[in-house]
Structure 1
Amino acid sequence: MKLLVILIMIVSFGFAKEKVVAFAQDTMGNDWRVAQVKQMEEALSGVDGVKFIYKDAGGNTALQISHIEEFISQKVDVIVTSPRDPQLTTLVAKKAKDAGIPLILISRGIDSDDYATFIRPENYDIGVSAAEFIAKELNGKGKVFILQHIPTTTPAIGRTNGFLDTIKKYPNIKVVDMKVADSLRSKAIIETEEAIKRGLKFDAIYAQSDSMAIGAIMALESNGIDPKKIVITGIDYISTAKELIKEGKLRASYLYPTGGKEGAKAALDILAGKKVPKDIIIESTEVTKENVDKVKPIF
């Protein structure tokens, strides 16, 4: 119902003079970020007088910064980004502000308040919930292997700190290793297989995205290990995650909306001269076998 309201409100907008909303995306190399761009594009496609453009930095921080600077020089009306590096993006955010161009941050933050609005779920809280869930599934005792999202980003920082701060309450649960897999299935396969080959023992895998959880499951199966015997959690709750939860291979995923539709609504509010909240928090939900058929995947 909430998304329907957003879409209805979007359709009601219209501008006599063309406005340009420009998205500087970190990478289109994973399905979640593709969906983030496409959902914003679809939400804005029916609005008269609004043109949506985007650029894919391919996971290259310098190129993403360059894209934002390019948008500033083009004098677009609104810039949207999901920063790969919060510190470096902070510098270019100041340039956008000085140029009078509102900046919308989606899912990832920067180190200043030089932005119009920051749209995201609470990553720290997700980390806390994942730690509590894994601790319960392990009955308070076991070894955890972490597959981390891009470590410089605010989601990775929140998801990691929330988990580590909480798991410390369980003295018989140890984090035995943490490897960066950048939310890519291919890297998660490599890191999990290397962990298995070097004899790392673990009872749970905290994957900071469903893509990494899927990669870990594939690596376990290719090495003759039943993923149902490992407590594996992911984040995003995509359709594949739903299937894996029903199969018992994935114990839980945390709904993590892309924010594309909410970003489109914020951009239109800004263009219409309306005030937008500095922070827009999107609700997240823990999805397990108990409620898997009641929660719709993000794509």
Structure 2
Amino acid sequence: MNGTRIAALTLALASVVALAGCTTSSQAADDKPTEDYYADFVPPTLEPEAGSDEVVDTSKFVKPEGEPLVIGYADASLSNSWRVMTKAETEYAISQIPDAELVYTNANDSTPKQIADMDDLITQQVDAIILSATDVKALCPSIAKAEAAGIPVVIQEREVDCDDYTTFVSLNAPELGAYQMEYVAQRLGGKGKIAIVSGIPGTGHTVAVETAYKKVLENYPDIEVVDTQYAEYDATKGRQMTAAILTAHPDLDAVLGISGNLGIGVFQGVQDAGLVDQMKAWVGDDANGWMLIHKNNNLPSMTVPYPVSIGAVAVDTAAKILRGEEVMKTTEVARWAAPEDFSANISDYANDDRPDEWWYNDMPCEFDPFCKS
């Protein structure tokens, strides 16, 4: 990897409809009063991620020097743009390692398919497996099987309910959820009605964010979650779910989409209902479509980065394991900035020259599937 990229990844290891011009139905963004939505925000108090201080002995996985590396990537799917760009980051990182090969499988969000993919990668005797699990429990036997075969398993982003993997490369979804819900709760003054448009039941990100939301709300008993619907991280489904929610509950103070892609659909649904100005808070991440909505409508939003660079970090971590280098049981990927700073400076990250599907990143344009060179 080039020096700049290595430095960025080292820091990380250490620590769909175009809406660019969207405004509220009643008021253009330029006409809105300027307000610092983050000056009084008090960040949540969070414990370090489990395993972040636990060193893993990688000596049993060492490959002889000079031998090519074959790394399997058992992906959950390419059903949303975050997964597409994370795959691109993975491919970029592989290209920077001499004599390295990526064996890619796509489960299409099917747990039986991913179990079969894991079996196939084990049969091929790949040197390491990067796994983005479709289910928090169902892939645990496959993880154990791979480790028993001498293949280290790097869990990418979606946590699992077992610990016999080698390392978990994490984006700390519980932190994302805690920041988002804490911001909403403070914007509501600790009282009000909200709804949640969530991802895919049983998947690591969905479970982690929902659990974090619930934990924060234990401190705010006067905030009522009137409905939670699942839109599979799809903006169109998110819009439909939001419309249905607002039909049943037109007096809501906020509708939370647990990802940027869902946030796009949530905003569209709220805008369709003519209720944008009624919403007291919003949440999202660094999906460009959401960032543009946040920026162009001057929304009070806690937009928490969820870096696609995890793809590259997972590859670098797998390579370190195969070289016998020290890794931690949990490796947390650094965000581009603290959530409140990222949100307050969203115009520095939103890109008018990229489509909604683009996510903020620093990989070369030739590898970025949404970059216009």
**TM above 0.5, one fold?**
yes
Q: Does 1:262 align with 2:322?
A: no
Shift of residue 250 of structure 1?
Answer: 6.2
**Cα shift readout 1:140-186 (whole Å, capped 9, x = no counterpart):** 22211111122312322221122112123223321111111222212
TM-score after normalising by structure 1: 0.89
Worse-matched range after superposition: 144-153 or 203-212:
144-153
The CA distance in 1 between the partners of 2:4 and 2:138, in whole Å, is 34
Q: After TM superposition, give the deviation of residue 5 of structure 1 in Å.
A: 1.4
Q: Is the 8 A contact 2:233 2:261 kept in 1?
A: yes
**Residue-by-residue CA offset, 1:127-149 (whole Å, 9 max, x unaligned):** 22212201122222221111112
| Letter paired with 1:107 | E
Task: Report the equivalent of 2:327.
Answer: 276
Please give the alpha-carbon distance, in whole angstroms, between the structure 1 residues aligned to 2:256 and 2:65: 46
TM-score normalised by the chain length of structure 2 = 0.73
Q: Distance in 1 between matches of 2:349 and 2:239?
A: 27
Write the letter of the residue equivalent to 1:137: R
Q: 1: CA distance between counterparts of 2:255 and 2:122? A: 42
Aligned equivalent of 2:96: 46
Separation (CA, whole Å) in 1 of partners of 2:8 and 2:185: 37
Describe how 1:56-135 pairs up with structure 2 within 5 A: 56-135=106-185
Q: For the residues of structure 1 that align with 2:118 and 2:223, how far apart are their CA atoms?
A: 43
Alignment of 1:68-217 (within 5 A): 68-217=118-267
Q: 1:298 is matched with which residue? A: 360
Letter in 2 for 1:292: I
Compared with structure 1, are the counterparts of its residues 15 and 38 closer, same or farther at alpha carbon in structure 2 (3 Å cutoff)?
A: farther
SS at structure 2 position matched to 1:119: strand
Residues 92-128 of structure 1: CA deviation (Å, up to 9, x unaligned) = 1111011111111011122222211101122222222
Are residues 257 and 228 of structure 1, via their aligned partners in 2, closer, same or farther at CA, if it must alter by over 3 Å? farther
Aligned length: 294
Determine the structure 2 residue equivalent to 1:286: 339
Compared CA separation, residues 227 and 298, structure 1 to 2 (3 A):
farther
Q: Residues 173 and 224 from structure 1, CA distance in 2 versus in 1: closer, same or farther, beyond 3 angstroms? A: same
Change (3 A) 1:289 1:268: closer
Q: Which has the higher helix share?
A: 1
Change (3 A) 1:227 1:45: farther
Change (3 A) 1:223 1:200: closer
CA distance in 2 between counterparts of 1:216 and 1:106 reads 27
Return 153-162 or 209-218, whichever deviates more: 153-162
Gaps of at least 5 residues in structure 1 are none
In 1, the alpha carbon distance for the partners of 2:278 and 2:246 equals: 16
The Cα shift of 1:261 comes to: 1.4
- CA offsets per residue over residues 70-96 of structure 1, 9 Å max, x none? 100111111111101121100111110
RMSD over aligned Cα atoms? 2.4
What is aligned with 1:32? 82
Which runs of 5 or more residues in structure 2 are unaligned?
Answer: 12-63, 351-358, 362-373
In structure 2, C-alpha distance between the alignment counterparts of 1:67 and 1:216, rounded to whole Å: 34
> 1:53: how far off?
2.2
Q: CA deviation at 1:3?
A: 4.5
Rounded to whole Å, the distance in 2 between the matches of 1:111 and 1:173 is 30
Partner residue, 1:17:
67
In the aligned structure 2, how far is the partner of 1:6 from the partner of 1:199?
A: 45
Higher normalized contact order (CA 8 Å, seq sep 6+, divided by chain length): 2
- 1:238 is matched with 287
Preserved CA contact (<8 Å) 1:28 1:58: yes
Question: Residue 104 of structure 2: SS of its match in structure 1?
Answer: strand
User: How far apart are the structure 1 equivalents of 2:327 and 2:155?
Assistant: 13
Please tell me whether the aligned partners of residues 252 and 279 of structure 2 are also in contact (alpha carbons under 8 angstroms): no
CA contact (8 A) 2:303 2:343 kept: no
Question: Which has a greater percent of strand?
Answer: 1
